[in-house]
């Protein structure tokens, strides 16, 4: 008994030791990251219900105004408002339920109304939200979609009934979630400025409903976000064509340059063209990268639908990928052309800059050569001047000697002035020459040092 008690106490002590928190320093954002991974991105829904989904493009700075408007609506219906740091909020407002989410460059507003209905889209969920409040929401409308989910107790609608619900009459659809539901749409904007999606519940489980609706909303949202660079892409296609032609012309003129001034002028034109290309690249690169990421999300969400074909209807995947892939191909083509044009401009500029450098080096070589010739001429002139200076100095020095000898002769000494002066000529000339040469050698040594 004592042995069992000691073992039990040992186990309890180990359990207590395990339950104690570890004293490791914690990463500051660990709890936030863990909460983000476990956040529920969809509402728990039960058919039948209708919802209206809005996506508004807006700057990040509008988030405070969005929180303020959400708070005003909460006060109006007597509901606790969201906290000042929250980026998503969901609450029941009686006739409807509202979910708000703030993303990097857009905000979503989803209105749910869990009430039976006989005709889908006749009284959409958003019609129960105060219209003056909706008008005050900041941003630009990008996506507006109505979704109606019918109960499995209602018979599935025929194609004729479906064509009356969608304005275009061109219905697309498929069985999704492994046949647990059917989805129809026409991917058109109707008279109320909203798109429409109809879902018929076949055998959806409670958690499948929210996930299916969330996937459809994300497909609608991200496919439009992926299309955002298409208008600017179409605008810059003519600019790229002109830039390409201009580069070809400048490259062709490269072989006809005859002076360094022409080379520098051509280099300036290439630099301006490169700056314009880099400006276009800077304007579009972020949008292209974001579009590529959104496109990948759309393909992932479509794959998660697990579609099965309904006889006679085009599947959602076929419609989405067919239309979206062509637009994305255009964007990728322009993005690649921008990168290629930028590299070609870089190579052309580098080649021309090398040519300009070589021309400048040749000019510098000619300049140094002419300076060397001038230095040589100056040296010869200097040597000539030194020879003349020896003669001049010797002449004046002999004159001084002659005057001195004449003075000595006048003092009564018998001196042949002419003879002594003649004898002094070679001595004086040699002495002056040696002195001048010594001075020149001394200056040369000082210059070398």
Q: What pLDDT, in 10s, does the model give residues 14-58?
A: 544 445 666 778 888 887 777 666 665 667 888 899 999 999 999
- In the numeric block, the tokens 């993005």 are attached to 335
Residue 236: per-residue pLDDT: 86
Beta 195-201 vs 140-150: how paired, if at all?
parallel
Cα–Cα distance between 148 and 268 in angstroms, integer? 62
9 to 16, 22, 395: CA distances (angstroms):
10, 22, 128
Residue 40: per-residue pLDDT: 59
pLDDT tens profile 199-251: 999 989 888 898 999 999 999 999 999 999 988 888 888 888 888 888 877 77
**Max intra-chain CA distance, the chain:** 160
417 to 23, 135, 152, 366: CA distances (angstroms):
118, 126, 149, 58
Cβ-based burial of 241 (10 A; exposed 0-12, middle 13-18, buried ≥19): exposed
Cα–Cα distance between 45 and 207 in angstroms, integer? 8
Residue 449: per-residue pLDDT: 66
Cα–Cα distance between 347 and 420 in angstroms, integer? 83
401: tokens are: 């000697």
Rounded to 5°, angle at Cα 164 from 158 and 170: 85
Residue 67: per-residue pLDDT: 92
Residue 4: per-residue pLDDT: 47
Q: Which residues contact 88 (CB under 8 A, 6 or more apart)?
A: 99, 100, 101, 102
Residue 30: per-residue pLDDT: 80
Residue 15: per-residue pLDDT: 45
How do the pLDDT tens digits run along the chain, 449 residues long? 445 455 545 544 554 444 566 677 888 888 777 766 666 566 788 889 999 999 999 988 889 999 999 999 999 999 998 887 888 899 999 999 999 999 989 999 999 999 999 899 999 999 999 999 999 999 999 999 999 999 988 888 888 888 888 877 788 999 999 899 999 998 889 999 999 999 999 989 888 898 999 999 999 999 999 999 988 888 888 888 888 888 877 777 766 666 667 677 777 887 888 888 888 888 788 888 889 999 999 999 999 999 999 888 889 888 888 888 888 888 888 888 888 888 887 777 777 677 667 677 777 877 888 887 887 777 777 767 666 777 777 778 878 887 787 787 787 777 777 777 778 788 877 887 788 777 777 877 776 76
Residue 8: per-residue pLDDT: 45
Residue 181: per-residue pLDDT: 93
Spatial contact of 25 and 92, defined as CB atoms under 8 Å apart: no
Q: Exposure string (b/e) for 130-168, b if CB count within 10 Å is 16 or more?
A: eeeebeebebeebbbbbbbbbeeeeeebeeeebbebbee
């Amino acid at each position: 008994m004592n042995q069992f008690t000691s073992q039990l106490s040992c186990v309890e002590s180990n359990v207590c030791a395990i339950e104690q928190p570890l004293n490791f320093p914690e990463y500051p954002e660990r709890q936030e990251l863990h909460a983000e991974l476990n956040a529920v991105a969809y509402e728990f829904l039960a058919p039948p219900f209708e919802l209206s989904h809005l996506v508004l493009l807006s700057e990040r700075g509008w988030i405070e105004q969005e929180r303020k408007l959400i708070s005003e609506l909460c006060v109006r219906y007597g509901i606790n408002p969201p906290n000042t740091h929250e980026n998503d909020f969901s609450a029941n407002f009686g006739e409807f339920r509202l979910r708000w989410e703030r993303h990097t460059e857009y905000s979503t507003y989803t209105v749910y109304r869990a009430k039976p209905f006989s005709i889908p889209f006749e009284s959409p969920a958003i019609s129960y939200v105060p219209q003056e409040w909706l008008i005050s929401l900041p941003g630009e409308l990008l996506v507006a979609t109505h979704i109606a989910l019918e109960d499995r107790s209602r018979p599935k609608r025929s194609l004729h009934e479906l064509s009356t619900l969608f304005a275009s009459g061109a219905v697309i659809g498929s069985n999704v979630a492994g046949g647990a539901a059917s989805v129809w749409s026409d991917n058109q904007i109707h008279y109320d400025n909203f798109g429409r999606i109809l879902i018929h519940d076949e055998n959806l489980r409670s958690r499948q409903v929210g996930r299916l609706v969330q996937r459809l909303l994300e497909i609608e949202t991200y496919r439009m976000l992926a299309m955002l660079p298409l208008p600017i892409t179409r605008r810059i296609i003519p600019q790229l064509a002109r830039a390409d032609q201009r580069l070809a012309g400048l490259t062709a003129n490269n072989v006809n340059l005859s002076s360094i001034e022409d080379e520098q002028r051509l280099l300036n034109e290439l630099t301006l063209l490169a700056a314009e290309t880099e400006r276009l690249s800077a304007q579009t690169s972020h949008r292209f990268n974001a579009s590529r990421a959104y496109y990948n999300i759309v393909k992932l969400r479509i794959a998660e639908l697990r579609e099965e074909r309904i006889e006679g209807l085009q599947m959602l995947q076929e419609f989405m990928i067919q239309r979206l892939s062509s637009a994305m191909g255009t964007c990728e083509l322009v993005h690649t052309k921008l990168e290629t044009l930028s590299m070609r401009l870089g190579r052309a500029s580098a080649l021309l800059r090398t040519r300009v450098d070589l021309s400048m080096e040749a000019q510098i070589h000619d300049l140094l050569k002419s300076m060397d010739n001038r230095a040589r001429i100056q040296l010869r002139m200097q040597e000539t001047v030194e020879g003349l200076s020896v003669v001049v100095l010797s002449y004046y020095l002999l004159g001084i000697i002659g005057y001195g000898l004449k003075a000595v002769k006048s003092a009564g000494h018998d001196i042949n002035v002419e003879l002594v002066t003649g004898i002094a000529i070679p001595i004086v000339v040699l002495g002056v020459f040696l002195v001048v040469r010594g001075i020149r050698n001394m200056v040369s040594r000082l210059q070398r040092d």
